[in-house]
Chains A and B, each alone.
Chain A
Amino acid sequence: MLSLLKSKLNEFFELVAKETLVYLPVDNSSGQASYQKWKEGVVYSSALNTVRSAKDFFFPQMENLMDFKMQGKSVEVVDTRVEKEDFVIFGVRACDVASFSILDKVFLADPVDTYYQNRRDHAVIISMACSKPESTCFCPLYGIDATKPEGDLSAWETEDRIFFKANTQKGEVLLNNASRLLEESEGQIVEVQRETTKKILEELPFAHLDLSKFKGENLMELFNSPKWAELSQSCLGCGTCTFVCPTCQCFDIKDFDTGHGVKRFRCWDSCMYSEFTKMAAANPRLTQLERFRQRFMHKLVYFPDNNEGTYGCVGCGRCLIKCPVSMNIVKVIKQLGEE
């Protein structure tokens, strides 16, 4: 297996960054990790997860879609898209990598979202296997193997080395370009790490929740469950869960009047927000109960029903850690799943 001494990691980033932009998890001043662009002095963080997920690279919180220029009575529509530069995302965990294929189902289905596709096409994903999962992690529930993450390149971090395995041609090219820093070494240690981690994953408290109830045929029963009232009563209606979620994909499109034209932009929206379903006629979700229910019905029932059983959750556990009132998808699954 090809491996890199961790002492040469900086050289590796330097080398890759000559060709393309490199992003990696970095500990920020709050002591938590966030993705940052590599430059000299930026140090890779082995933190289990970043606060914001890696979806930001493909589905940013805000992006301009097009401009309208008004001159007299004519309106010119300006396509503001530029071809995205190639970029590398280093250290993406298996859950976040799995979230990309969920986002693909939404944005790459007909009609293809070309803004999203542009970024997807230009990315090289170097994933990172987990060896120390949190008790809030539950990716095994969705069949995700945190010890063998997907992506263009899979990586494993041991005490002194990072091991690589190319999964795509993009991954192979990157390894070839960095070959002078890499050496062929015994991959046995990776297998040992994988086995140890698998045992931990197997015993994670939420690895085996019962999802059998969550399917299309139970849609109305789940929708009408009286339990939503109790589950949603403490919900603050903030957007924390949706914004840290790697699979939440809802957005709003708005026009900004610049005074001499209009900038049309897209930004993240949250089904937890009061105006999310505001329409010309009325708003069908008037209380937090309906908004809260929507988020979980979408992830656990509607999405799998429309996507061959794929749930709209990857078990990264960010919402479990970040919800201000500790109400989350695990508690919902436990409450509704047992009915």
Chain B
Amino acid sequence: MQETMIERAKALMESKSVVRVVGWRIGEFGYDVTPSVFTTVDDLNGNFVYNDFCGSNLSKYLVRLSCEEGKVLVFLKPCDTYSFTQLLKEHRIHRDNVYAIGIPCNGKIDIEKVRQAGGEGITAIRSEGSTVIARTLYGEKKFDRKEVLSERCLNCKSKKHVTYDELLGEEGEVLDSHRFDMVEKLEAMSSNERFEFWRNELSRCIRCNACRNVCPACTCEKCIFDNDNSGVSNKAAADSFEENMFHIIRAFHVAGRCTDCGECSRVCPEHIPLHLLNRKFIKDINELYGEYQAGSDMETVSPLTSYTIEDDDPSIVNRRGGGHDA
């Protein structure tokens, strides 16, 4: 697939259909690929890579790149096309300046899972069928691909590309995933257990903002937490509870817009399962207002930005006898 992508990119660049390509740049060890902009054919040759570690969702880079002069070619995996569509819907990307090519994905490997499974000192890594083979400082090591697949890919929601100009490879289907299983487990906990679970997970937060900065739903020009004039900006929390609130507030802010791309959990240096907060919101929205998948098309209005008289009102106000049912 990588070669086909490079050929298409070169052809589009040579025909001047696009002036830049956003893709993934090869790293030192095979797994450390970097999202990158390519502006010459020479650069594409040898530096452009598409492998098991191209997990980065490139759609957010289009917020900036689609404002630049000339068309940008972007390669989007199925789940990335949901973020792309959602951003288009929010008018954050200039569609005319983007040429999107959908590419197949059979799941990405989580290098930290490889490390934790004993993959120490990796200097090169590749997949062969269902086996992942790593060359390390301590000899060759093999892993079962399923064991080291990232969590979000184990629960892949769709192999279908929802928005694109051109498709490479075969189109897939929306999948029947088990992505809400863990949310159900959390729901089944007592409120004390659930509180403890989240307090423990979120206690590791170092407030690096990686989750926010990578999130395709977080595209505010200036985040309220960075704005000194907001009165709530802070670089460190006064106590650990405040840190918890940061994540809860962020989850509320992206509710109804989060496509469940899973980038937040991928980038968290402390391995906090942040996607579970978002999935809880998605599950609640599905149950309260009917199935809704953010970014699945350009037309459907988000349940949280529309109102009908039949809308469920799950608030405490309602339960206490207020609200429209009263």
Contact = CB atoms under 8 A, between A and B. Distances in A.
Interface of A: 28-32, 34, 48, 51-52, 61-62, 132-135, 200, 203-205, 230, 233-234, 236-240, 242-244, 252, 254, 256, 265, 267-270, 273-275, 278, 320-322, 324-327, 330-331
Interface of B is mostly: loop
B35 A325 contact: yes
Given A51-B270, A62-B237, A331-B28, A34 B204 contact: yes
B36 A61 contact: no
Interface residues of B, number: 47
Contacts of B150: none
B206 interface: yes
Contacts of B257: none
Closest 7 CB pairs of A and B: A267-B236, A324-B267, A30-B271, A326-B32, A238-B210, A236-B213, A62-B236
B133 to A, nearest CB: 15
Contacts of B11: none
B29 interface: yes
B154 to A, nearest CB: 16
Contacts of A254: 234-235
Contacts of A205: 28-29, 123
B155 to A, nearest CB: 18
Contact of B209 (A239, A267, A330): A239
B213 A238 contact: yes
A135 B29 contact: yes
Contacts of B272: 30
Contact of A273 (B121, B122, B235): B235
Interface in B179-233: 200-201, 204, 206-210, 212-214, 222, 226, 228, 233
Contacts of A34: 204
Interface of B: 27-29, 31-37, 56, 61, 112, 116, 120-123, 136-138, 200-201, 204, 206-210, 212-214, 222, 226, 228, 233-238, 266-267, 269-272
28 contacts: A30-B271, A62-B237, A132-B121, A133-B137, A135-B29, A205-B28, A205-B123, A230-B37, A234-B61, A236-B267, A238-B210, A238-B214, A239-B210, A242-B208, A243-B208, A244-B206, A244-B208, A252-B235, A270-B208, A273-B209, A275-B228, A321-B112, A324-B56, A324-B210, A325-B56, A326-B27, A330-B28, A331-B27
A234 B269 contact: no
A278 B116 CA distance: 40
Nearest to A274: B226
B235 A320 contact: no
B213 A256 contact: no
B27 to A, nearest CB: 5
Given A31-B116, A135-B29, 5 more contacts: A32-B270, A51-B270, A244-B206, A269-B235, A331-B27
Contacts of A278: 228
B34 A326 contact: yes
A234 B222 CA distance: 18
B214 A135 contact: no
B240 to A, nearest CB: 10
A104 B269 CA distance: 27
Contacts of A238: 208-210, 212-214, 267
A204 to B, nearest CB: 8
Contacts of B210: 236, 238-240, 324
B111 to A, nearest CB: 8
Most chain B beta-carbon contacts within 10 A, residue among A233, A252, A330: A233
Nearest to A62: B236
Contacts of A134: 120-121
Nearest to B267: A324
Nearest to A61: B236
A29 B200 contact: yes
B120 to A, nearest CB: 6
Contacts of B222: 274
